[in-house]
Amino acid sequence: MKCSLCNTFTALATVGRRTVAALMGSTVSLPCTTTHRTPVDWDYQRSEKDDVKKICTAGTIRDWSSKRYGLSRKFFGDFSLLIFNVTVEDTGEYTCTEDVGVGVQHRVHLTVHGSYIYIFIRTNCSHKTNKATHKIN
């Protein structure tokens, strides 16, 4: 018997959420490792009130973004998204979805820091946290 609703609804399962920080102007890799060869989709949403933008469909980078984005493909199942020359506007929620009968989602929140980065150091002997500020030239 054929299921008449099977193509109407897509079930989604979120397998994890990571947070990645990057410095403005750097290249960042947003991790997405799958267990299948099925190409993935990558979506981006700056905030909950903004529209979702499609960056990659079925493993192919969309034309509008092809100069700033790429796929890592370092090993079998690696569909990590590379963002070149990141800006503060790249901060937001990225979702990698693999369609293996059920849409499996890998979520990554990217935060891009401007010209200052705060480094937190915890020393083992005193258990104090020191905060240092460095200007990036």
Per residue in 31-57, pLDDT (tens digit) is: 988 877 778 899 999 998 999 999 988
Considering the domain boundaries, does residue 94 fall inside one?
yes
Distance between CA 125 and CA 117 in Å, rounded?
A: 25
Number of domains in the chain: 1
Burial of residue 45, with CB atoms counted within 10 A of its CB: 0-12 exposed, 13-18 middle, 19 or more buried: middle
Considering the domain boundaries, does residue 101 fall inside one?
yes
Q: What is the CATH number of the domain that holds 72?
A: 2.60.40.10
- The confidence score (pLDDT) of residue 39 equals 80
What SS3 state is found at 121?
A: strand
Does 8 or 92 have the greater pLDDT score?
92
Considering the domain boundaries, does residue 73 fall inside one?
yes
Per residue in 47-105, pLDDT tens? 989 999 999 888 888 876 668 898 887 777 888 999 999 999 999 999 998 876 666 78
Considering the domain boundaries, does residue 1 fall inside one?
no
Host domain of residue 113? 12-135
The amino acid occupying position 28 is V
- The confidence score (pLDDT) of residue 22 equals 93
- The confidence score (pLDDT) of residue 50 equals 93
Considering the domain boundaries, does residue 7 fall inside one?
no
